[in-house]
Copies of this chain bind each other. A is one copy, B any other.
Amino acid sequence: MTQVPSVGPKAGRREPYVSARPARATGKDRAYVRAAAPTLEAVAARAGVSRATVSRVVNGSPKVHPDSREAVRQAIAELGYVPNRAARSLVSQQSHAIALVVPEDITRFLGDVYFASIVAGITSRLEQSDYVLSLMVASQAPEGKMLRYLAGGAVDGVVVVSHHTSNHSLRQISELMPMVFGGRSAIPGVDAYVVDVNNVDGAAKATQRLIDRGCTNIATISGPLSMHSSLDRVEGWRRSLHDAGLMPGPVVDGDYSMLGGARAMREVLANYPEVDGVFVASDLMTSGAMPVVLERGLRIPEDIALVGYDDSPAVEACEIPLTTVRQPSEEMGREMADILLGVLSGDTDRPRTTIMPTTLIVRESA
């Protein structure tokens, strides 16, 4: 679509618009004002055609004479013309921007490679479109700034990766524009697309690996049981065990942290000495749990086999190469963006929910 030449360094002199320094503050305490950019009008004048024609070549309309087109192309290049976004949005009623809603605790969110990958996926998909991404932190006052911003027509759609945003504001947003959730399940009453990963299945695969290598006393170190993902992983673990006719070992909450993982492992060892396999619901927890096992003089995987989850950089912190479950986080992000873009371009029959598959990565710990 829209094909406009790039703003090359030798964009040439901007005839009537030039100003010594391209931008400066006025004498008064007026706000900073940037140099006037060349407009359609200017290009038209230079090319000796009308604004309409320029608009046509900018938007790739087929019905324009090659000669005119060439003249316009020239003028655009010489002037370094770039369409004004605001004007375009105003008339087209589209901002060509989408918002990424993240939890208020943005540091923790961004610092987590899982989420970072999702964001990367989103941006990577967006890169090959002419949409841009705008960051919205679900602050204390979500009813306020964020809603006003979204309602102001600043974006055409929303992707939310936050787990914490209030259902209330989400519902309002979903009534305003298309919305897609990532890494969380649907919320009743909120009209949104959902892209999630199959936590149950991932956990089941991990547990099955333990079963396959002969473990019979299998425990799990879970995340906080208040989180959906934790629950699903416990569920998957339980399912594989059940299908194999095995008795489930203990479930210990490891808080999705390294220290928590270590603590949980100690607890497992203390209360369930016969343990010979553990499904640890995150690599980070595993990196804390593994040393505990090793310190006891137990061998991995011979005495106790360990399977992690995430295939995150935390695996590097493990002395024994970790068998783990990879989540397609970047693909998720890409899919989220793709869905939104699709809907925005009029594709009405996208599936409401997309479940992405996990992959078992076999290394040495199990």
Contacts and interface: CB of A to CB of B under 8 A. Distances in A.
A113 B113 CA distance: 10
Interface in A302-330: 313, 316-317, 330
B175 A7 contact: no
Interface stretch (A42-50, A64-72, A237-245, A340-348): A340-348
Contacts of A348: 25
A151 B14 CA distance: 13
Given A110-B110, A119-B110, A154 B132 contact: yes
Interface string A345-362: 111100000000000000
Contacts of A175: 22-23
A31 interface: yes
A145 interface: yes
A154 B136 CA distance: 16
Contacts of A25: 343, 346-348
Contact of A34 (B6, B37, B123, B176): B176
Interface in A53-92: 80, 82-87, 89-90
A129 to B, nearest CB: 9
Nearest to A117: B107
A23 B110 contact: no
B26 A346 contact: yes
Given A7-B151, A25-B348, 19 more contacts: A6-B143, A6-B148, A9-B168, A22-B176, A29-B346, A32-B343, A32-B344, A32-B345, A37-B153, A85-B89, A85-B152, A111-B112, A111-B116, A123-B135, A123-B137, A124-B137, A132-B136, A134-B135, A258-B316
Copies of this chain in the oligomer = 2
A308 to B, nearest CB: 15
Interface of A: 4, 6-9, 22-23, 25-26, 28-35, 37, 80, 82-87, 89-90, 93-95, 97, 100, 106-107, 109-113, 115-117, 119-120, 123-124, 127, 130, 132-137, 139, 143-145, 147-149, 151-154, 156, 168, 172, 175-178, 258-259, 287, 313, 316-317, 330, 343-348
30 contacts: A6-B148, A7-B151, A9-B172, A23-B177, A25-B343, A32-B178, A32-B345, A32-B346, A33-B93, A34-B93, A34-B156, A34-B177, A35-B176, A84-B152, A85-B86, A85-B149, A85-B154, A86-B86, A86-B89, A86-B95, A100-B135, A106-B119, A107-B117, A107-B330, A109-B116, A119-B135, A124-B137, A132-B134, A134-B135, A135-B135
